[in-house]
Amino acid sequence: MTSADTIIDVTEEAEGSPSPEDLLTVHTRTVGAAVVIAAVGEIDMMTAPLLERAIAESPQRDIVLDLTAVSFIGSTGLGLLLEANRRCHESNRALPLVVGSQRAVIRTITASGLAPVLSMRKSVSDALAQDFGQRHAETRPA
C-alpha cells in the first residue's frame, strides 16, 4: 500500500455534511414590545451566526431568548450569549434566557461559570414578567 492509497477525500464528506440551517432553526415572534427568539437544535461554531443574526435584527427591543429546544451549546454559543448579554446591558435592556428544564443548556452554562452572569428563567412568561414587568405579559386566548 502506498501513501496515496490512504488519503481520504474530505471534499466528498463535506458535500454530504449538514448545513447550519439543518442543525439550528431560529424562530422569532413579538409579545408586546419584546421579541422572543426561539432556537431549536444545536448552537456551535457552525450555527451560532444564525442566532447572532436574529439577535442583531432586534435592535433596541427587549429580547427573550428561548433555549428550551436547544440540545447542545458549545463554547462559540456561550460566547455569543455572553456578548449578546453585554450588548443588551449596555443599552439598558435585559436578555433573559429561557432554559426550562433543558439539562444540556443549564449544565453547560453552569459548568462554564456563567450562571451568575446570564439570567436563566423557566418559561417565556416568567422571563417577561420577571425581567420586563407587566408591559410584556403574555395574553392567552379565552
Q: In what order do the strands lie in the sheet with 120-121?
A: 24-31, 34-43, 62-73, 97-98, 120-121
Which candidate, 95, 93, 103, 46, places its Cα nearest to that of 70?
103
Per residue in 98-123, pLDDT tens?
999 989 999 999 999 999 999 999 99
Look up the pTM and report it.
Answer: 0.81
* Residue ranges of domains in the chain, CATH in brackets: 19-133 (3.30.750.24)
Spans of the chain, pLDDT less than 50: 1, 3, 8-13, 134-142
| Distance between first and last Cα of the chain | 73
